[in-house]
Structure 1
């Protein structure tokens, strides 16, 4: 158990292999000083009125930091940042007034309102939503690029809200809402100080992590988060047999079911899934009635999440540049 418990260390070493520097506010400080500024404004006072047009204006194989400032408004469009356009920052001024909205359903790769395929992407102060409603797969955000950060964003739908597909991802101070498997995929991701809210009317699932083999260094870590819900919800179920999810130092409301986890009707996954909890609190954090195949993690096992040696590294998170060419 101890060796398997050390996955957190290996997971974070991979996550931070390019260096990560999260300040106490969850924001890193290193950033290029010069970038290209593109303004999107619905009334036509900016460079573009549509976000996708601004992304399309970025050249293929881009090597320049491009800062797309999205002015307040509601943008009814589907957004895709293609794989050949890295180094884009898409930034609103506040998630409360900068809204990207869609309502597609039916396919996890076709329905997303926003799809990030490129590496070195930053999303800030945006609401990304899929308003289709319950009863079908309706992704709000797909993240398939490597080295991707979302800061202070609202990501909302019902089923399959956030397709945290592949790559290394960091979500800080985000609000994520849904009902069934609404944080799912096979990325290596850290959720820090996020509010995760279930709108399930009963028996929903927050996570469905898809790790398929013990050789895959992927998983979801929720650190210092708040977990709430309308009614009862599970913390997760194993989409992949080696699914890995850890909650640490997080508040769990009474919406979290006492058993915590579900095996998705396949008892064999109980032997391979890795579901852990460390010093969480609140009425839903009681471990006494958790399924026996979940884990109470020790300080030694979880320490790589908490030590300054791990979190005070050189960052790949970018703030806004101070100059534009």
Structure 2
């Protein structure tokens, strides 16, 4: 038993050290791309599936590798494993490069796309789980379009389409810029520390009002939270801005345009009556017919200018300047 315990401790330390190495040490060698792999169904391509291209990248990769995905519809599940950091997935426009699958076997296993390592860039791609989208008569259940759980992930001009649990924003620091996110029930959820800039959120309601966010910050010391800077929330039915998936849930909307889809109360403590002081939900300088806070929940936070500064891009996710070391993404 003692030898077994020592062995288990050794492997646990080894695993933690390996994870720490992947998360913190790798900087991908600067901004240059070492080589490019092309994926497509025809023409001059390296692989015909995205997963095959990812699998070809060496383990413990420490130089940026670009996987260029030609326009087309790719019906496959795609996973970037933790041992393959420093990958760029580049599509040819989110309207043209679409990765989709239909699965509803739980929030983790149903995901069409999973990104696990640190230092990943995604641009100009649609990630879609069609389970609740194409068949509107079936029972709604969790069906994740994308699961992002690696630190230092940059997602640019991408679309995420689903209905329940569309984007599993799980762990790590993430920067979403100029993205489109569609759903109705907890369609942005998780424990990540994420900044959403100029994103379009589309609430596609069918029955009762759903929730844009279900943020899972679970302690007062956790850096976790979702910050929405600018952008818009639209839709075809009513939706709440969020509910507290965990006790210290934290979501900030700043300068966001709210259409009339937002419910008057806006937020839900998710059965945490009497504990609302632990929750940080705030709306600052928001606009539009849905931005009237006069009937919001009474525990909605009011942030001072200095508190709001803590949720700026530089302060919230970029204190170590990791965003400054990313390759330039073509416009």
TM-score interval, normalised by the smaller of the two chains: 0.7 to 0.9
Task: Tell me by how many angstroms 1:297 deviates.
Answer: 2.4
Q: Hey, what does 1:199 align to over in structure 2?
A: 204
1:79–1:276 distance in 2 versus 1, CA, 3 Å: same
Task: Tell me by how many angstroms 1:319 deviates.
Answer: 2.0
Measure the CA separation in 2 of the matches of 1:230 and 1:101.
23
Task: Tell me by how many angstroms 1:44 deviates.
Answer: 5.3
Greater RCO structure (CA 8 Å; 6+ sep)? 1
Given that 1:287 and 1:296 are in contact with CA atoms closer than 8 Å, whether structure 2 keeps it comes out as no
Count of residues paired in the alignment: 293
1:79–1:307 distance in 2 versus 1, CA, 3 Å: closer
Gapped regions of structure 1 (runs ≥ 5) = 1-17, 19-29
Measure the CA separation in 1 of the matches of 2:216 and 2:313.
27
1:97-112 map, 5 Å: 97-112=96-111
Given that 1:80 and 1:114 are in contact with CA atoms closer than 8 Å, whether structure 2 keeps it comes out as yes
Of 298, 304, 312 in structure 2, the residue corresponding to residue 292 of structure 1 is 298
TM, length-normalised to structure 2: 0.84
Of 320, 323, 326 in structure 2, the residue corresponding to residue 317 of structure 1 is 326
When Rg is computed on C-alpha atoms for both structures, the one with the higher figure is 2
Measure the CA separation in 2 of the matches of 1:157 and 1:307.
27
Task: Tell me by how many angstroms 1:217 deviates.
Answer: 1.1
Gapped regions of structure 2 (runs ≥ 5) = 1-23
Task: Tell me by how many angstroms 1:43 deviates.
Answer: 1.8
Given that 1:205 and 1:233 are in contact with CA atoms closer than 8 Å, whether structure 2 keeps it comes out as yes
The answer to whether the aligner puts 1:142 opposite 2:151 as a matched pair is: no
Q: Hey, what does 2:76 align to over in structure 1?
A: 77
Measure the CA separation in 2 of the matches of 1:62 and 1:113.
23
Name the SS of the counterpart of 2:299 in structure 1: coil
Measure the CA separation in 1 of the matches of 2:36 and 2:312.
36
Measure the CA separation in 2 of the matches of 1:269 and 1:149.
34
Measure the CA separation in 2 of the matches of 1:182 and 1:220.
13
Measure the CA separation in 2 of the matches of 1:309 and 1:175.
24
The answer to whether the aligner puts 1:258 opposite 2:275 as a matched pair is: no
Of 173-182 and 300-309, deviating more is 300-309
Q: Hey, what does 2:13 align to over in structure 1?
A: none
Task: Tell me by how many angstroms 1:263 deviates.
Answer: 1.4
Measure the CA separation in 2 of the matches of 1:320 and 1:177.
24
Measure the CA separation in 2 of the matches of 1:261 and 1:316.
37
Task: Tell me by how many angstroms 1:284 deviates.
Answer: 0.6
Stretches (4+) displaced over 4 A: 304-314
Q: Hey, what does 2:127 align to over in structure 1?
A: 128
Measure the CA separation in 1 of the matches of 2:78 and 2:118.
15
TM, length-normalised to structure 1: 0.86
Task: Tell me by how many angstroms 1:304 deviates.
Answer: 4.2
Given that 1:31 and 1:320 are in contact with CA atoms closer than 8 Å, whether structure 2 keeps it comes out as no
1:81–1:308 distance in 2 versus 1, CA, 3 Å: closer
The answer to whether the aligner puts 1:116 opposite 2:121 as a matched pair is: no
Measure the CA separation in 2 of the matches of 1:251 and 1:132.
29
RMSD: 2.1
1:27-176 map, 5 Å: 32-43=31-42, 45-133=44-132, 135-176=140-181
Measure the CA separation in 2 of the matches of 1:58 and 1:228.
39
Measure the CA separation in 1 of the matches of 2:279 and 2:149.
23
